[in-house]
Amino acid sequence: MARAGALDRLEAREGVSGVTKERATDTGGLLERLSAGPVIVAEGYLFELERRGYVQAGPFVPEVVLEHPEVVRQLHRDFVHAGSDVVEAFTYYAHREKLRVVGKEKLVESINRQALALAAEVARESGTLLAGNICNTNIYEPGDAALRQTIRAMFEEQVAWAAAAGVDFIIGETFSWLDEALIALAAMRACGKPAVVTFAPHRAGVLRDGLDLAEACKRLEDAGAEVVGLNCIRGPRTMLPLIETIRDAVSCHVAALPVPYRTTADQPTFQALHDPACACIPDDRPFPTALDPFVCNRYEIAAFGRAAHDLGARYLGLCCGAGPHHVRSLAEALGRETPASRYSPDMSRHAFFGRGDAARKSNRDFTDKL
Ligand SMILES: [Zn+2]
């Protein structure tokens, strides 16, 4: 049973400190780095910048790249500081349809070019990979040929802007339909850069066209994707069993980028989570602005990283909800020392819980009264 196997391994490895020192090279393109070891990909820009007050929940359009470029630049730097090997241009939901919804379609080119320029700046200064990004359009309908053309054109223009910015590879993500992902992949492949394509695993654990996720990933591999897998929607516990089935189904590299939330078998996605401890949440639905009590701690993220690595996934990251501390924990769990590791915890020097000279005896004796 794939499902039980992955969960058992996650349980067994929680709290384990040792991990094989397997490192990506810090040179070469995505595929060279993946062949040398895991590649860490920080995502989660929408939620982090929403929390900081620069993105509006609901439309979730990244106008911040134009309105506060310094904030986006700093978040890129924060994620690299924490261990990300990739700077992903913040063009998620910067496609023509989303900009139309907020009445700013005329900004579609400038928002994409600016997002790419900000990411390129940080990628160049840090020696990390620059990734372009396209994503779910939310207008796909099965069998609608006109819509397919519209979607294809939306992807093509974004891919062209990414290619012009000199991206190392392109990410197509959060797709719920195989066909929409295949449209994206065709557009991505036209620019000749490696393509990473990931699906959003909804409650049913299958795509909206009813297709099994492992089968859908195999179809993407057959269509030329270099990396396939899952991002967003599910937390580590409910994503890992699906990753195991995908790993078994494909021979290319596998991506796993869960949201850092404690999803469960009964509530397997972050949209499904319910908070019985609070009666004041709008619509009684914690998604997307009251998920705080469900956030995984950094140790759970480390356990996820080790478990996903054990399953054979090498393109590892986190999606909506992740902060730099999660990324650092993931990186360190995979054997990395990051710039932020200089500040990784050392409770032996705490004034009360520490050891030796760090904590006076009177303070240590007081710890169970704190
Ligand atoms: Zn996400």
pTM of the predicted structure, to 2 decimals: 0.93
- Tell me the CA–centroid distance for residue 190 and ligand 1, in Å: 25
Ligand 1 (ion): residues with CB under 5 Å are: 232, 319-320
pLDDT band at 26 (very low <50, low <70, confident <90, very high): low
Interval 74-107: pLDDT, tens? 999 999 999 999 999 999 999 999 999 999 999 9
Picking from 17-26, 168-177, 280-289, which range would have the lowest pLDDT averaged per residue? 17-26
Reply yes or no on whether the pLDDT at 7 is more than 90: no
Ligand 1 centroid to 241 CA: how many Å? 18
Helix/strand/coil for 243: helix
Q: How far does the centroid of ligand 1 lie from the alpha carbon of residue 350, in Å? A: 35
- Distance (angstroms) between ligand 1 centre and the Cα of 44 equals 6
Tell me the pLDDT tens digit for each residue of 178-224.
999 999 999 999 999 999 999 999 999 999 999 999 999 999 999 99
Whole-number pLDDT of residue 25: 55
Distance 45 CA to ligand 1 centre (A): 8
The SS3 assignment for 27 reads coil
- pLDDT at residue 267 above 50? yes
Confidence at residue 85, expressed as pLDDT on a 0 to 100 scale: 98
pLDDT single digits (tens) 114-131: 999 999 999 999 999 999
CB 85 within 8 A of CB 24: yes
Q: How far is the CA of 259 from the centre of ligand 1 (A)?
A: 6
Report helix, strand or coil for 264: coil
**Confidence band, pLDDT 50/70/90 cuts, at residue 15:** very low
In the prediction, which pLDDT does 165 show?
98
Rounded mean pLDDT of the chain?
93
Distance (Å) from CA 359 to ligand 1 centroid: 42
Residue 18, pLDDT score: 37
Residue 3 φ then ψ, to 5°: -60, -50
Please give the distance, rounded to the nearest whole angstrom, from the Cα atom of residue 48 to the centre of ligand 1. Answer: 11
Contacting residues for 238 by C-beta, under 8 A, at least 6 apart: 201, 263, 264, 265, 268, 269
CA distance 257 to 40: 10
Q: Using the mean position of ligand 1's atoms as its centre, give its distance from the Cα of residue 349 in Å.
A: 36
Main-chain dihedrals φ then ψ at residue 117, nearest 5 degrees: -65, -40
Phi, psi of 94 (to 5 degrees): -105, 25
Gap from CA of 65 to ligand 1 centroid (Å): 18
Residue ranges of domains in the chain, CATH in brackets:
2-337 (3.20.20.330)
For 199-212, the pLDDT digits (tens) are 999 999 999 999 99
CA dihedral 38, 237, 210, 92 (to 10 degrees): -60
Report whether 254 contacts 223 (CB < 8 A). Answer: no
pLDDT at position 27? 74
